[in-house]
Structure 1
Amino acid sequence: MKGAWGERQAQAYLKRKGYRIVETNFRTRLGEIDIIARDGPYIVFAEVKTRRDSRFALPREHVTAAKRQRICVTAEQWLQRNPGAGQPRFDVIEVYGEEGAAPRDICHLIDAFGG
């Protein structure tokens, strides 16, 4: 499954950058967050988009306003269950490549929802 492969690649990437993975695939009836990680004072809610290439559109373009809203509402629910977790931040991680191989590229958009 391409999405699961991309999420594993994004987790490994974040770990290499010193992030601590807190939870993956957090789901509520309102939405899902692919990766929740700690980065210093921040609790990072990361949406992962996996593509072979960006020929037709950048993966980040598929994180629509409606998708951002669902992620924010789901993050609020997680924060209510985990008070004092840290300052929330929303990132998008684009993973380019084919399942079963190393990713060709990973693009990490920090604070992608505009703070």
Structure 2
Amino acid sequence: MADKSKDEKLYSQKDIADRVGTSKSTVYRIIKELGLKNATKQSQTMLYDESVLKAVRKDFEARKLNQNSPAESVHSNDELIAQLKDDLQHEREQVANLTKLLDQSQQLQLNLQQ
């Protein structure tokens, strides 16, 4: 961590990742998605102020809250499978009905030709 002034501390992406509890690549992605700017650059290292640290932490926590627990995912997948099975059964019924109508149409066409 570097000091910009006496009052303001600056953080590298690694510092932010350590404080938030995630990887450096996740911090990079969040910074890029939020369009956050670095305060300064020291050699090849971008340094960010406290506001960026807070924004990354807030976004990361929101992402964690939005993720389903494994049990919820399994339940959600089971519901999805049940819905897809119902949809498939409905589609099969429609195909059978259309096949029947096509057959009837062909029989009528033959009758008209005779």
TM-score by length of 2: 0.23
Q: Which has the higher contact order (CA 8 A, sep 6+)?
A: 1
* Structure with the greater alpha carbon radius of gyration: 2
Q: Higher helix proportion, which one?
A: 2
Q: Higher strand proportion, which one?
A: 1
